[in-house]
Structures are given as C-alpha cells and as structure tokens.
Structure 1
C-alpha cells in the first residue's frame, strides 16, 4: 500500500492557453524535446496498455540518457494522461505518473503532474530520487506553460 509521503507533485501552473492545446502538446510525443527538459523523448502508440518508452537525461552520465518503459493506463483527452511502471520478475518497483489538465475557461487551464512510488522499495526510492523528480517535474510544468503560451500567442495549433 502506498503512503502519502511517496508522492511527488509538481508545481501547479496556470497556463494562458486552452486545455485542448495543452493536451495536444502532451500527446505530441515526437515534440517533447522542444519543451520537456526531463523526458526528452517518448515513444508510444498511446493506446491503453501500450508501452511508453521514456528517455530521460542521465544525471550521472551527462550527455547520455536512459530509457524507462512504462504502460499507458489513462487517456482522457484534455484532462488526464497517465502511465505506470509495473513490477517485473527483475524488479518489484512500481510507479504511476499522472498529468492533470483542468480547464479554467476557453483560454486558460491549470496543469500539474504527480508520481507515486509503489512497490517494495518505494520508501527508499522516494528518499533517494524524490527531490530530483520534484525538481524535474517543476521544470516540466514550467516548460509546458511557456511552450503552450508561446504557441497560443502566435495563434498556432499543434500538428500531429
């Protein structure tokens, strides 16, 4: 069972752009490198249950990245995008990431993301990596805000 202290939550940002535009940015996986400093590449069909390959810069080896394979568990347009790392025979660790969008009207929305660490080593993972994940999730939220507002101000839509 998870404990509340094993949840990392980003800053909550209010974005001067429609929720639909923010959603399109989140599901335009090929463009993550343009705005997301934490997950610089993502590969997935975005079908429920499908693998989601997340490429993250390795802080221990600058200039390299590592891949985490998770699975898509929620796809609710303009509201929620979630994936989770499932336990395997090699690792009993698990986690779930949720990205939330809340419409604040036709031209504004709110965004934040959470990650809950689950499994046998959840406490240790939170203690070891929680602050690093928090710092990066805050950067993601702010990067998404800046990117969405710039696209919206320029009158551009995301092309998928």
Structure 2
C-alpha cells in the first residue's frame, strides 16, 4: 500500500500564472518553504536537483523527470531503490477554471518495503512540507496576479 499526500486547491489566478510559479525553479527560494532550491531542464529523463527542508538543514535530493506537459503537468520520481525497497512519485497538475481561476493538484506517494520506516521518521514532515509548498504556490500566484492586474489598470 502506498503512502499518499494529495491536496487540491483553487487559486484565484489564471493557469498560466500558476504554471509560471511552478516552472520558474530559480525563484523557489523566494516563496517555497519546503523545496528551497531547485534546478532542472524539466525535460523527461533529465534530473531534477532539489534542496528539500525536512529537517533544520535542507538536504540534497535528486529525482528524475518523468513527464512535462507545459502549462499542465510536471511529474518526477526518485530512482527506485534496489529490490523494491523504496520508490516515490511527485506531480503538479494545473487546470484552468474559467479565465482567471485555476485548480492545482499536488500529489506525492511513497511505496516499497522501507516505506513504513520512512513514513515513521519523516511522514509528518513530508505532509507539512507539501502543504507549505501548495500554499506557497497559491499565495505566490495570487500575489503575482493581483500585482499584474494593478499594473495593467494603471495602479
């Protein structure tokens, strides 16, 4: 059985703005409390190198991009540990709701025979981290959208 963390939120900003926040990896340190550094081409098969804050000090994490559909979906996974010990999958899904709203889905799962140990040690920290990142995406996209609307309106 998988350990799953899934959250869907509605964001008061167009899908293009939400996607910009997700895909502008260089700006993660400005708004992301969980993944405080991130580098990748976002191309399937390429690495995604992150610094993830599970403990007091961010830890390096390398995973591999499995899917990238610009404006809609970005997914990656860890290289599975030998003998089915542990594997993970992470995805970001963006769906437009009208002209200026977005449904964002954050999904993560862990599986393998080491899963109970990892969940016991890090499960609550993973839940807090992914919740913080999801809320950070929402806040950042909404703030960008409000700023752009005020600039467009001459404010």
Partner of 1:125: 118
Q: Is 1:32 aligned with 2:28?
A: yes
Question: Which residue is 1:9 aligned to?
Answer: 6
Structure 2, unmatched stretches of 5+, are 150-155
Runs of 4+ with >4 A deviation: 88-91
Contact 1:102–1:109 (Cα < 8 Å) also in 2: yes
In structure 2, relative to structure 1, the CA distance for the partners of 1:116 and 1:76 (3 Å cut) is same
Give the 3 Å change call, closer, same or farther, for CA 37–91 of structure 1 in structure 2.
farther
Is the aligned partner of 1:141 residue 2:138?
A: no
1:23 aligns with 2:16: no
* 3-state SS of 2:35 partner: coil
Q: Structure 1 regions of 5+ residues with no counterpart?
A: none
Aligned to 2:42: 46
Residue 26 (structure 1) shift: 0.8
Displacement of 1:58 in angstroms is: 4.6
| Higher helix residue share | 2
Q: 1:84 aligns with which of 61, 64, 77?
A: 77
Give distance in 2, aligned partners of 1:96 and 1:45: 18
- Aligned counterpart for 2:108 among listed residues 112, 115, 119: 115
Contact residue 87 and residue 119 of structure 1 kept, 8 A? no
TM-score relative to the length of structure 1: 0.84
Q: Structure 1 residues 80 and 66 mapped into 2: Cα distance closer, same or farther (>3 Å)?
A: same
Q: Which stretch of structure 1 is more off in the superposition, 141-150 or 86-95?
A: 86-95
